[in-house]
Amino acid sequence: MTSSPNPQTEFVNPVVVYTAASNVEAHMIVKLLSTNDIPAYAVEDQSGVSLWAMGTISQFHQPRIWVEDASAEDAAKLIRVFEEKNQMRRQPGLGDNVIAVVCEGCGKTTSFPESQNGTTQDCGHCGCFVDVGDTDFDADLETAEESGQ
Ligand SMILES: [Zn+2]
């Protein structure tokens, strides 16, 4: 880290296109923009406290993503796609990688990772053997069980 470049000085008219929720997200977005030929950098609020003294306190630790003014529109589009993908990944409930199995012994549902598809595992409720993936039931069953009267 002896001669780390300072990208901020290369920007003529930098603007904030996004306020990330975390440093990890900030770095992901900077990388995303960079691979799309949009130079970007992330700045944490802490380093610009005096500059952003009038900013809201709720954004204190949230890094901002800066890009050149001319590429702000393209950057915003890329970030929007990034966000949509992120939200899909954060959907609650059973994901694609989980197999719900109904135990023939106790009738309760246990979820197993898809990597155990086709194997025999122990029921999480009674300890009976259950066949993962070898049933007609799918992930919806857990919801059906809860709403069933
Ligand atoms: Zn069981």
Residues with CB under 5 A from ligand 1 (ion): 103, 105-106, 123, 125-126, 128
Name the region of 67 (left: φ>0; alpha: ψ -120 to 50; beta: rest): beta
State mean pLDDT over 67-92. Answer: 85
CATH number of the domain that residue 30 is part of: 3.30.70
Q: What is the pTM of this model?
A: 0.47
**Cross-strand pairs, 98:** 113
8 Å CB contact between 7 and 47: no
Interatomic CA distance for residues 111 and 90, integer angstroms: 18
Q: Can you give the residue range of the structural domain that contains 143?
A: 98-147
Distance CA 44, CA 19 (A): 10
pLDDT given for residue 89 in this prediction: 64
Q: Tell me the CA–centroid distance for residue 92 and ligand 1, in Å.
A: 25
State the pLDDT at residue 90: 59
| Longest alpha-carbon distance in the chain | 69
How many whole angstroms from 95 Cα to the centroid of ligand 1? Answer: 22
Q: What's the number of domains the chain is made of?
A: 2
Residues 113 and 73 in one domain: no
Same domain flag for 20 and 81: yes
103 and 78 share a domain? Answer: no
61 with 132, same domain?
no
